[in-house]
Amino acid sequence: MKIIIIGGVAGGASAAARARRLSEEAQIILFERGPDVSFANCGLPYYIGGKITDRNKLLVVTPERLETRFKLDVRVRCSVEAIDRTAKTVRIVDLASGREYEESYDKLILAPGAAPLRPPIPGIDSPGIFTLRNLQDVDRIKAVVDGGGVKGAVVVGAGFIGLELVENLVRLGISTTVVELQDQILPPFDKEMTTPLAKTLAAKGVSLLLGEAAAGFEQTPEGLVVRLKSGQGLPAQLVALGIGVRTENKLAVEAGLEVGPRGGIRVNDHLETSDPDIYAVGDAIEVQDFVLHTPTQIPLAGPANRQGRIAADNIFGRSSRYRGTQGTAILGLFNHTAAMTGASEKVLKRSETPHRMVYVHPVNHAGYYPGAEQMTLKVLFDPASGKVLGAQGVGGAGVDKRIDVLAVAIQAGMTVFDLEEMELAYAPQFGSAKDPVNMAGFVAAGLLRDDHPQIDMAALIETPANQRPFLLDVRTAEEFAAGHLPGAVNISVDELRARLSELPTDRKIAAYCKVGQRGYLATRILLQSGFSATNVSGGYTTYRMLYPESDQKES
């Protein structure tokens, strides 16, 4: 069998190696347009910032290693220009020599990936404007940065790669501004979960311009000016574009393969395209959202690796299926971590999927053990079955562990009742006897059992003041004085039983504390004392995340 693979990196290289492991006899040719067949593009920002010092460490595998260890025919600097599905051939141009030739195939795997977006705005091709997608990009940026002339930088786009680059530029002492079209950083996350990261950026001196967009670029004797749609001009010596990617689908479209409305190459769960002899993997394909079961495009390295293996399996008669992508992703930003898996609240709302959510704000390990760091977990779930639909976490240490556990829970179709029962590793330096995942399960399962009626903080605040429940702050007087919800009355939970006569009996009472635990206890006291009561999800900590611009001290 003769297999041709177009594109390397995660999907193509994984497919090639898997194919060889399944067959020593197959002829396997891998074409890569660039000079590097497989590299760690997630590590590129850290090479610019000096965290990774050896460029060779970014090379996951070289063509020579693939040829020696896997007996693969790897041809870099070769561009596949066309696919003839009838003749089952591809036309190739050797970019080094200019020679054109054809190769036949029995099976073809497309792994062309995606290219950074460069919108057609004035000055976009000016010197000093970069994208960051491959080793050649990183070499160009590093040469400029190491040259010592960059005092100011503008990063357009506040996604994962953009923010990783921001962190590394700041560590090099470069004054950095971020321009983001959305009203938040990290658009895949729910907005409130990004509040701690935005505060961290501000504390590090980063200027964050949200709801803004670049309208053009002008060259000046000092470098560049980024002209925003608002009219503001931002001087810089380096501009990095991180505004998304577009699918490299030209070959597929010209070959008549089916593509989705956003350009993703359509495949079935075996990774077959509309031509049964052509497979496609990686950033170029349209996948099924694991939670919503709808078509989507999610460019991530982990799924691309798995897709490459599955495509090779199916070529050699193994019935492997791709279950879909749930979008598990993580970002480290200075001393913070943000991670997510499954559906976000905004996606569930947009798809009109019924859901409930809870917030918990635990520490990463036993509080009595030194170094405990607080995190926030948001878990979304089906209100009827309790099935976990999505989760997001932000904080310091331990966020990655909890999101990974919740990612597995989603894969396994588990419910919040299962989260209550999860048995996770515990020692004081690693976790708690009631792990944050268990805590999220307790709160969510209690809500579904009606142990504690709950109102979401955003729903509470957005209710007109004359229609809101009676707001009861059950924290200490000192905490209340430092900041509270507008219109709240303060009675500490420790004094509540003795002061029940001060509360209205003709209105629902919404109790809240700092993170929800004391609010839950207050709600149980009130319900068993004849009051109509509800707990406010996530407490005052969630309020500060949802409404970071509100005054710290409300009257």
Distance CA 406, CA 391 (A): 7
- The DSSP secondary-structure symbol of 450 reads T
Give the residue among 331, 341, 334, 275 at the shortest CA–CA distance from 303. 341
- Decide if 42 is catalytic: yes
The angle subtended at Cα 440 by Cα 351 and Cα 529, nearest 5°, is: 105
How far lies 412's CA from each of 302, 391, 531, in Å? Answer: 18, 14, 40
Sorted by sequence, the CB contacts under 8 Å of residue 417 that are 6+ apart come out as 386, 441, 445, 448
Of these residues, 23, 35, 40, 42, which one is catalytic? 42
- Residue 28 phi, psi dihedral angles, 5° rounding: -125, 120
Which of 423, 415, 412 is CA-nearest to residue 441?
415
Per DSSP, the residues of 161-185 read: HHHHHHHHHHHTT-EEEEEESSSSS
Strand partners, 390: 342, 380
Other beta carbons within 10 Å of 2:
14
516, 523 contact by CB (below 8 A): no
Kindly give, in sequence order, each residue whose CB lies less than 8 Å from that of residue 288, ignoring residues fewer than 6 positions away: 269, 294, 295, 296, 324, 325
Catalytic residues: 42
